[in-house]
């Protein structure tokens, strides 16, 4: 399925030497608003934009040996386009969207296959659900598959498995924003590039506030950044700015930078990965987390919360200590030993996540007690810590 034509300037770019890339392993996320174009009352696949993505990713693979994974939306829109007007009665309820995704996913992948084949690049489809990434063993299996594809020079194309999973077709992953962040952590990416339908993060929604200004660099995702994101959503997409900010918080905490910019800008992928100023750059934390902690940070398998007092919160945040039972004030939810839990400062926000040494029922029995009392209270002992510092990530 060919593109609808390219300008002479775009063709000329193919003959120029590509500057050295700043990032070697890149996650490119393209949302529905980028990959589709209005066709009357409906939207269809934008072949020009998809063709440009294929061209740019192929150049990075061929000329710089960069490893690129594409997280794509668009299956539901492709399904509606494929079925045509006779099926316009299908609505936005979950069963209808699953039907459309089933029709559209193969159409979407066939389009990508032909577009990448024009550049002698092979692609591989990977459909994921929350369960695939919440279980540690499954998480590692997905990681091994994706890294194996990259080693072979194949471009993995990932999407939510809307056909079989109800959660993803709602807003759990958030139009692939969160999925792209989870995949970035999964493969230890150097950059997450989110392509959207505006130029980046603004001080307010530029579509309703003409005084809104682009924020070129975000050093830390805090309350002011969340306020700037507001509740802006695109009518055709399931994500919106809030889910992109959530993705930024997830990857930057893990030590991975994120760039958000307009997906239909000229050479957007090439400009971003070669270090040109474009869109909004979310700066990473000082150091990358090790792989197991990145999985914990993903937040898709949390079973409960442990509320702690101010002293315990200070010990975790400033002294890099473990969480002891003496500092526990309350346990929320039910979980088992080995499950991932949030740690919340009493009366405030979540401050960490970690792997529980004890079940929720056991922690309730020992909360507020000294660690040396654990064997006497429980009759057994898994260590002095409720959550050990080696199994804990500060948020």
- Tell me the torsion sign for CA atoms 238, 240, 245, 251: positive
pLDDT attached to residue 26:
97
Nearest to 363 by CA among 346, 341, 390: 341
pLDDT in tens, 81-113: 888 776 766 766 777 778 888 888 999 999 999
- When pLDDT is averaged across residues 296-321 and rounded to a whole number, the result is 81
Report which of 160, 387, 177, 135 is spatially closest to residue 282, judged by C-alpha positions: 177
Look at residue 58 and tell me whether its pLDDT is greater than 90.
yes
For the ranges 136-150, 286-300, 354-368, which has the lowest average pLDDT? Answer: 286-300
What is the rounded distance in angstroms from the CA atom of residue 277 to the CA atom of residue 280? 8
What sign for the dihedral angle of Cα 348, 130, 160, 23?
Answer: positive
Structure tokens at 240: 């919106």
Helix (H, G, I), strand (E, B) or coil at 55: helix
* Residue 285 CB coordination number (10 Å): 15
Where residue 157 falls among pLDDT bands split at 50, 70, 90?
Answer: very high
> What is the pLDDT confidence band of residue 5, given thresholds at 50, 70 and 90?
very low
- Tell me the average pLDDT across 330-345: 89
Mean pLDDT of the chain: 84
Higher pLDDT, 67 or 236: 67
Q: How confident is the model at residue 164 (pLDDT cuts 50, 70, 90)?
A: low
Name the band, by pLDDT with cuts 50, 70 and 90, for residue 117: very high
User: What is residue 140's predicted lDDT score, i.e. its pLDDT?
Assistant: 84
Range list of H helices, 152-307: 166-169, 177-186, 223-229, 241-253, 268-273, 291-297
Mean pLDDT across the stretch 197-217?
A: 89
CB atoms within 10 A of CB 276: 12
Q: Is the pLDDT of residue 11 over 80?
A: no
Q: Give the pair of three-digit tokens for residue 386.
A: 């409720």
pLDDT for the residue numbered 324: 93
Residue 280 CA to residue 27 CA, distance in Å, equals: 16
What are the structural domains, with CATH classification, of the chain? 8-290 (3.40.1160.10), 301-394 (2.30.130.10)
**pLDDT value of residue 135:** 74
User: How far apart are the C-alpha atoms of 49 and 158, rounded to whole Å?
Assistant: 18
pLDDT score of 233 more than 50: no
- The pLDDT value recorded for residue 4 is 44
């Amino acid at each position: 399925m060919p593109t609808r034509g390219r300008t002479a300037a775009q063709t000329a770019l193919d003959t120029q030497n590509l500057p050295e890339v700043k990032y070697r392993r890149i996650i490119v996320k393209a949302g529905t608003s980028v990959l589709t174009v209005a066709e009357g009352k409906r939207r269809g696949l934008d072949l020009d934009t998809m063709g440009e993505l294929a061209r740019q990713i192929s150049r990075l693979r061929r000329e710089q040996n960069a490893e690129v994974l594409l997280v794509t939306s668009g299956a539901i829109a492709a399904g509606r386009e494929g079925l045509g007007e006779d099926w316009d009665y299908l609505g936005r309820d979950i069963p209808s969207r699953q039907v459309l995704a089933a029709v559209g996913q193969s159409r979407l992948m066939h389009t990508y296959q032909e577009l990448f084949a024009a550049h002698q690049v092979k692609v591989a489809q990977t459909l994921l659900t929350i369960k695939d990434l919440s279980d540690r063993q499954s998480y590692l299996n997905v990681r091994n598959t994706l890294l194996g594809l990259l080693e072979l020079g194949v471009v993995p194309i990932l999407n939510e498995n809307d056909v079989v999973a109800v959660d993803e077709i709602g807003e759990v992953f958030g139009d692939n924003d969160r999925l792209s962040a989870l995949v970035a952590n999964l493969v230890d990416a150097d950059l997450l590039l989110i392509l959207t339908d505006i130029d980046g993060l603004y001080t307010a929604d530029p579509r309703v506030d003409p005084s809104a200004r682009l924020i070129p660099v975000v050093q830390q995702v805090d309350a002011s950044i969340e306020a700037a994101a507001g509740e802006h959503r695109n009518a055709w997409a399931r994500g919106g700015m809030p889910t992109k900010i959530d993705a930024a918080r997830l990857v930057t905490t893990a030590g991975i930078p994120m760039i958000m910019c307009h997906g239909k800008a000229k050479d957007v992928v090439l400009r971003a990965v070669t270090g040109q100023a474009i869109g909004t750059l979310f700066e990473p934390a000082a150091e990358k987390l090790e792989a197991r902690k990145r999985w914990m940070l993903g937040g898709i398998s949390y079973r409960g919360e442990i509320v702690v007092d101010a002293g315990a919160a200070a010990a975790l945040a400033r002294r890099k200590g473990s969480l002891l039972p003496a500092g526990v004030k309350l346990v929320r939810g039910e979980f088992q030993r080995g499950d991932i839990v949030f740690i919340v400062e009493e009366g405030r926000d979540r401050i960490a996540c970690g792997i529980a040494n004890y079940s929720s029922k056991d922690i309730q029995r020992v909360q507020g007690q000294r660690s040396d009392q654990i064997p006497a209270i429980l009759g057994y002992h898994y260590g002095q810590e409720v959550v050990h510092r080696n199994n804990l990530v500060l948020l």
